Structure 1
Amino acid sequence: MSRVKEFNLPDLGEGLTEGEILKWLVTVGDDITLNQPIVEVETAKAAVEIPAKWAGRVITIFHGEGETIDVGTPIIAIDTDPNAGPLPDSGPGEASGTTAPSAASLAAVEVAPAEGAVEPGLIGGPAPGGRTPVLVGYGPKTTTAKRRPRASAPATSAAPATPAAPAVPAPAVPAPAVPAPAVPAPAPTAPTPARPAAAQPGPAIPRQGPPAPATGGPVRSGANGVLAKPPVRKLARDLGVDLTALVGTGPQGSITRDDVQAAVAAVAEQSAGSAVAAGRAFVAGEREQRIPVKGVRKLTAENMVSSAFTAPHVTEFLTVDMTRSMRALERIKGLPDWRDVRVSPLLLVAKAVLLTIKRYPMVNSSWDCDHIVVKDYVNLGIAAATERGLVVPNIKDAGELPLRGLAEAMTELVGTAKAGRTTPADMSGGTFTITNVGVFGVDTGTPILPPGEAAILAFGAVREMPWVHKKKIRIRQVTTLGLSFDHRIIDGELGSKFLRDVGAFLTDPEAALLAWG
């Protein structure tokens, strides 16, 4: 058994197919222990630390930080018995981090056979006896490709009037210069050859176009007397370039793609120059930033698009007087047992939602083809904005927690999300979500349902506003709630009753706790 083992990127949950390496926690040459964190990887769900599968010494790191790799791709090689002596032909390149190991080191690595490998002799596999497999009617290529010499001679030729000697005897009757048969290939991107010197004499040309080639060979003109290949002509038509106004730099004075594109660039530069005279010219791509969509942000985008065009959304709003709730929070903060617990208005909103769900269980459900699945448990999701994008971890069985336990779970959940340590398991299985847009000073919004959930509540900012209280206008602390729900499951009556009762709890939480339990 080989002592060097490759560790592949594992599936980190729910069928994820790729991950981005955020940070290596080890370097080449480090001695590591079993289950020691070795790398931090961001998937579409969250950023997680991956532990080592074996103890030993790191000999190779195959991918650097910032690379996105597929699940199952080797990311690190570990020598599981570093005290047994040096590896065969272990060169200094292995100590450089991500440099490829030597051939002997790779030969000592234990690698699983490729999935779906083809046996020798079959289509797609190696031929028996080392024979090179080829198509029927074609032999294996035994020579190297050679570039044909250019038709034009250097401008400093001693005898410019004498044509270059052809490679084959010239026919008795002059024939048009037709390129030799070859496999069609795209236009070459070789450097543009030098144009013929303008000082050399030549025959008068009745049009503005390419001069006669220096070799003196016959030239076949295309339409309008312009020598250009069909792809070049099409490019000129698409870009609106007049070929007759160009001087070709290709073989025998033909017009190339570079000539056409140079003409377009010249016109654009001229237009930009005139625009600069009036002010700063706008150039496409200038003063712009392109951010790749990946990881958490990519998954969020896909989920939001899927939800928005799958579930028929309805949103209702309710403005609530939270003055008594804010006073109750101040009293809770003053209790000795609550001094070390973070308390915010979101805590009472979460408690209001959990108690109201017990009254209307259909709100805590999901749509499954021809069935509505009503959950007897509440995995309460709290949307959290992080540097990597929006994540929605959830508190499992939140409905079974007392008020203090709910406060502690919310504090831990938000702290873990802000640190980017939320695991995929913490973000799966949610049944109802609260998004607290009030922390950004926003009154409310129309939130989009997380996939698989029937309702989501937006909690807006709590503001001091004039409010009619006991038939008098007073300054009260007011907020606005926004409830979006799946109209296939929740009709207008059910959604309205649910939102009304959540508002009633926040209006007088002490009375609601006594009445609702």
Structure 2
Amino acid sequence: MATEVRSLREFKMPDVGEGLTEAEILSWYVKPGDTVTDGQVVCEVETAKAAVELPIPFNGVVEQLFFPEGATVDVGTVIISVAVAGEASAPAAVPTPAPAAEAPADEAEPERREVLVGYGPRTGGSQRRARRTTTTKTVTASKPAPAVPAAPVAPAPAAPAPVAEVPLGERPLAKPPVRKLAKDLGIDLRAVTPTGPDGVITREDVHAHAAAQAAPAAPAVEVAEVAAVEVPVSAPAAGDVRVPIKGVRKATAQAMVASAFTAPHVTEFVQVDVTRTMKFVRRLKESGELGRDVRVSPLLLVAKALLTAIKRHPEINAQWDEAAQEIVIKGQVNLGIAAATPRGLIVPNIKDAGSRTLSGLAVALGELVETARQGKTSPADMQGGTVTITNVGVFGVDTGTPILNPGEAAILAFGAVRELPWVHKGKVVPRQVTTLALSFDHRLVDGELGSKVLADVAALLEHPKRLITWG
């Protein structure tokens, strides 16, 4: 007689397709014993890009939650299991997949990996490179290392340390551009910790290693010396607070280090009389000609001015292709707006912003800012940016030297608008003045191009009517 079969289905932390390796579970919306349906949101997680709600891809009853709220989980790790009712059939055992480490990489069966909504499924069984057979030695720091006939081995430190496997004679896995980058930075790839698939060293790994080498090591040395002579070390002050570096803040830190070490930054500055622009903003607000519910701000006209300048000088809307050794001039401008959120700095972008009217740009900018404030910016909204604006003026800051968003050629900082004495029509009078700063990648933007773009933005903000005639 046929009986109903109930099997366990496991839902893994999804891969959003951006090379992210982990996510933090912010909140669970279900608990063991709850009934769930296909497409129901079961939890919210924060990746290095944004907070995302995860839907379950099947029906059933929640069996187990494997991680609590606040836990950081690697992509591909099971986070929830669900008891699923199967079709009527004879009872059958549910096969348990063998651990990935025990199965040969080249014989692994492809499996369907759950992914975030909007990215589509992909098979998890990627072709892996066959492992080389190498000789390894095990070094245990808690006791002296065995002697090696070829060369004497110094005794290991007395303090206990994890066991490490050191491959002998294996060439580190890395693509040619990454090898060139390491050579240019004077880094031995054998000393770099790989994080890419199958142990491949990525550009980010090289930059992280370079940053670690550049960081001052004095405090760590001092602590080690004090511990060696057993001198008591004072406890941290009572008011000290430690904040874990994860999620958006961790991604931002890594991206900024990578950008600073990769792109040669140049920053130019200009002071601008924006009195007419501020009057134009007030007129747009009072008239409602862009729409009664549309938010109008000086940032809107700065964005429009930058887009107009890029239209006149499209070469600045470009990207450096290290692998192909080419400069790629982008066909459309995806305008990024740096937004400070409770989870850290993010840079969502307005797709094809250059083709939008002033009204359309205002609507898109308002939606982008509101979504970012709510922490609902999707990963797709932060992909593909080509140029960025950072509005440091909202914090009362006059200007700065902004670091490029990785993969982009330019970023414009918009400073605070202040009433200053200014020569206008031959007289010194109070005018509203701001400072603009344009940072650009000097590999693909020379001083002439960068200066022309910055000068155009300044001229458009000084005489906003030109937004119509130049656009």
Instruction: Calculate the TM-score normalised by the size of structure 1.
Output: 0.63
1:3-402 equivalent positions in 2, closer than 5 A: 3-81=7-85, 111-118=96-103, 264-265=231-232, 283-284=235-236, 286-337=238-289, 338-369=291-322, 370-402=325-357
6 and 111 in structure 1: CA distance in 2 versus 1, 3 angstrom threshold:
farther
- Secondary structure at the aligned position of 1:390 is classed as strand
Report the counterpart of residue 93 of structure 1 in structure 2. none
Question: Is the strand fraction higher in 1 or 2?
Answer: 2
**Paired residues of 1:24 and 1:40 also in contact (CA < 8 A):** yes
Report the counterpart of residue 435 of structure 1 in structure 2. 390
Distance apart, 1:417 and its partner CA: 1.1
Q: Describe the superposition over 1:137-173 as per-residue Cα deviations: whole angstroms up to 9, x where unpaired.
A: xxxxxxxxxxxxxxxxxxxxxxxxxxxxxxxxxxxxx
Taking the aligned partners of 1:373 and 1:240, their CA distance within structure 2 comes to: 55
- Secondary structure at the aligned position of 2:437 is classed as strand
Report the counterpart of residue 462 of structure 1 in structure 2. 417
Q: Describe the superposition over 1:390-427 as per-residue Cα deviations: whole angstroms up to 9, x where unpaired.
A: 10000110011111111111111111111111111111
**Paired residues of 1:342 and 1:411 also in contact (CA < 8 A):** yes
Distance apart, 1:287 and its partner CA: 3.0
**Paired residues of 1:4 and 1:108 also in contact (CA < 8 A):** no
**Paired residues of 1:26 and 1:38 also in contact (CA < 8 A):** yes
**Paired residues of 2:305 and 2:467 also in contact (CA < 8 A):** no
Q: Describe the superposition over 1:411-454 as per-residue Cα deviations: whole angstroms up to 9, x where unpaired.
A: 11111111111111111111000000011010110000111111
109 and 38 in structure 1: CA distance in 2 versus 1, 3 angstrom threshold:
farther
Identity of matched residues, %: 61
Deviates more, 1:39-48 or 1:288-297: 288-297
58 and 322 in structure 1: CA distance in 2 versus 1, 3 angstrom threshold:
same
- Secondary structure at the aligned position of 2:15 is classed as coil
- Secondary structure at the aligned position of 1:481 is classed as strand
- Secondary structure at the aligned position of 1:334 is classed as helix
- Secondary structure at the aligned position of 1:309 is classed as helix
Amino acid at match of 1:354: L
Taking the aligned partners of 2:388 and 2:440, their CA distance within structure 1 comes to: 11
**Paired residues of 1:58 and 1:76 also in contact (CA < 8 A):** yes
80 and 323 in structure 1: CA distance in 2 versus 1, 3 angstrom threshold:
same
Amino acid at match of 1:400: S
Report the counterpart of residue 410 of structure 1 in structure 2. 365
Distance apart, 1:506 and its partner CA: 0.5
**Paired residues of 1:56 and 1:79 also in contact (CA < 8 A):** yes
Taking the aligned partners of 1:70 and 1:112, their CA distance within structure 2 comes to: 19
**Paired residues of 2:42 and 2:54 also in contact (CA < 8 A):** yes
13 and 476 in structure 1: CA distance in 2 versus 1, 3 angstrom threshold:
same
239 and 73 in structure 1: CA distance in 2 versus 1, 3 angstrom threshold:
closer
Report the counterpart of residue 486 of structure 1 in structure 2. 441
Taking the aligned partners of 2:304 and 2:19, their CA distance within structure 1 comes to: 34
Distance apart, 1:115 and its partner CA: 2.7
Distance apart, 1:116 and its partner CA: 4.9
- Secondary structure at the aligned position of 1:420 is classed as coil
Distance apart, 1:35 and its partner CA: 0.7
321 and 66 in structure 1: CA distance in 2 versus 1, 3 angstrom threshold:
same
**Paired residues of 2:8 and 2:81 also in contact (CA < 8 A):** yes
Query: How many residue pairs align between the two structures?
Result: 348
Distance apart, 1:18 and its partner CA: 1.0
Distance apart, 1:238 and its partner CA: 7.6
**Paired residues of 1:2 and 1:108 also in contact (CA < 8 A):** no
284 and 508 in structure 1: CA distance in 2 versus 1, 3 angstrom threshold:
same
Q: Describe the superposition over 1:110-138 as per-residue Cα deviations: whole angstroms up to 9, x where unpaired.
A: 6544335359xxxxxxxxxxxxxxxxxxx
**Paired residues of 2:392 and 2:399 also in contact (CA < 8 A):** yes
Larger Rg belongs to:
1
Distance apart, 1:240 and its partner CA: 7.6
27 and 108 in structure 1: CA distance in 2 versus 1, 3 angstrom threshold:
farther
**What runs of 5+ residues in structure 1 fail to find an aligned partner?**
89-106, 120-185, 189-236, 242-260, 269-281
- Secondary structure at the aligned position of 2:262 is classed as coil
Distance apart, 1:286 and its partner CA: 4.2
Distance apart, 1:465 and its partner CA: 1.4
- Secondary structure at the aligned position of 2:80 is classed as strand
Distance apart, 1:290 and its partner CA: 1.7
444 and 65 in structure 1: CA distance in 2 versus 1, 3 angstrom threshold:
same
Distance apart, 1:292 and its partner CA: 1.4
- Secondary structure at the aligned position of 1:3 is classed as strand
Q: Describe the superposition over 1:239-281 as per-residue Cα deviations: whole angstroms up to 9, x where unpaired.
A: 686xxxxxxxxxxxxxxxxxxx5xx45xx7xxxxxxxxxxxxx
Amino acid at match of 1:358: K
Q: Describe the superposition over 1:359-399 as per-residue Cα deviations: whole angstroms up to 9, x where unpaired.
A: 10111001113211111200000000111111000011001
What's the RMSD between the two structures over aligned residues? 2.8
Report the counterpart of residue 460 of structure 2 in structure 1. 505
**Paired residues of 2:304 and 2:467 also in contact (CA < 8 A):** no
Distance apart, 1:76 and its partner CA: 0.8
Taking the aligned partners of 2:226 and 2:283, their CA distance within structure 1 comes to: 74
108 and 60 in structure 1: CA distance in 2 versus 1, 3 angstrom threshold:
farther
445 and 239 in structure 1: CA distance in 2 versus 1, 3 angstrom threshold:
closer
Report the counterpart of residue 208 of structure 1 in structure 2. none
